[in-house]
Structure 1
């Protein structure tokens, strides 16, 4: 378990992190979601020891995280950091050297990763000759080459085509299933929703919501949708919160199912009802509602 506890960090007069706290559980994929400037990258860099917090702690299993543990975390920065003129496989072997790994074993492991990520045919190509999407795949392989004890990934899906995304999802899931804590940020909320076990939503350096997708969805205000032949403007007088209205279609918030059913009962007295039911929320809805 990696725990972020009451982190604060300022840059000049800008207070970037404000008593930030959350956990990254072992064997779980934790999605770290927030707008630009929310503090995601700063938090990741503090976890890795690249930056120091003004106050607060990063813990591993309840104790202050050590340099030794940090050295075995796999990190993928948002900005690509591979040597452009070095071949992809040589880059991975070099990174293995830095971690004290056996060269022969690292080369075998590197080829396995590149094969799985669909990059084996470009193993001997210089990184600078790869497409941006393939450079992203190589960067993912670099984060995994030393069999990390944990993963910290900043926008790992940026630039990947749908096939590469699916392959990457499988690889990262395998790492989590082996017991490693995994934290990743992404602006692609549909991918976060597919992949993550836990979510942390951050804004202005503060955690606004956290938990499993089911737990976060349970906190959303119930929203219902009604589609009928007759004009539904009368719903405004039913004591519910009308969110959208267009002739025979209305979307509204209700405090209880009984209140929503009362709207349905009234609609049925006014004509034919074509559709009625609760709206299924998405992570995008939760994100907007949380930051509103």
Structure 2
């Protein structure tokens, strides 16, 4: 798969704080790549360097064999976390203005604007001022502005924040459609369930350094151990003594048993004592949300696996 964006050895410092410490990753054509990390990890600094809002102290950013000031920004779409449309400007006017900034033909832009307004349930809103729209509607307009010029690389910073479930589905469908058509997408979000559902690969950063980098399948297979959730009143001591149980978390009548790496679930179930009370039982892999919390809080409760966890 063709590499659209390469970030290599990126370093950036602000006074005496080093925000980025030599991070490297790629974004490929037609894939959705997640960049994850807790607040202050370096995600926004990375995105701002890619966008040319600031420049790295060391390292390189390459897009279509162009670097630095030579990167064609009109080929990149960007939805920032901090929304910022001119409030007293009409929807059509602001979107045409954004298209013009990207050197996109305005007659074609107008056709695409009307198409997207209909797709995002904003039909008839082209003459409405931004400040007359709800927060969700305004976010849809800004999203349209980021994709209107048919970018080859699309950077989305918290695109689902503040959206209702119906609008989230609209965004998800459009993001998938863009990827299917070949757009390279770099997505930053704290909503791990959506990241896990949508993204092909992920790059997780903590304190300016890589901690996980790989495909979603690799992360789930190599890093996310199995856990067993049991509903029933059970003794903590009994559960902790079951073979291949790393630790147990209990709340009321629910117990979560975190299992050793490479447990074979069918065989392990046979080791459960007959005294264990089971009203309901479920075995699945640890979620991306749980991996994120473990790394972000430095709990180190989850087993490391290969070079996915640095």
Contact 2:33 2:186 in 1 (8 A): yes
Determine which structure has the larger helix proportion and give its number. 1
- 1:209 paired to 2:212: yes
Cα RMSD of the aligned pairs, angstroms, is 2.6
Contact 1:217 1:286 in 2 (8 A): no
2:263 aligned residue? 257
TM-score (norm 1): 0.89
CA 1:63–1:101: 2 relative to 1, 3 Å: closer
- 1:289 paired to 2:294: yes
CA 1:132–1:266: 2 relative to 1, 3 Å: closer
CA 1:233–1:114: 2 relative to 1, 3 Å: same
Contact 1:224 1:254 in 2 (8 A): no
Equivalent residues in 2 for 1:1-40, closer than 5 Å? 1-40=4-43
- 1:195 paired to 2:189: no
Greater mean alpha carbon deviation, residues 162-171 or residues 194-203: 194-203
TM-score (norm 2): 0.84
Structure 2: distance between partners of 1:259 and 1:111:
52
Q: Where in structure 1 are there 5+ consecutive unaligned residues?
A: none
Encode CA deviations 1:47-81: one digit per residue, 9 max, x unaligned.
11111001011123566366352332001111122
Structure 2: distance between partners of 1:99 and 1:47:
16
Superposed displacement of residue 290, structure 1: 3.5
Structure 2: distance between partners of 1:73 and 1:144:
9
CA 1:157–1:64: 2 relative to 1, 3 Å: same
Which SS does the other structure have where 2:285 is aligned? coil
Equivalent residues in 2 for 1:44-123, closer than 5 Å? 44-60=47-63, 64=67, 67-123=70-126
Q: Which of the numbers 152, 157, 161 marks the counterpart of 1:154?
A: 157
- 1:241 paired to 2:265: no
CA 1:271–1:159: 2 relative to 1, 3 Å: closer
Contact 1:231 1:247 in 2 (8 A): no
2:179 aligned residue? 176
Structure 2: distance between partners of 1:41 and 1:55:
17
Aligned residues: 291
2:285 aligned residue? 280
Structure 2: distance between partners of 1:112 and 1:150:
21
Which SS does the other structure have where 1:267 is aligned? coil
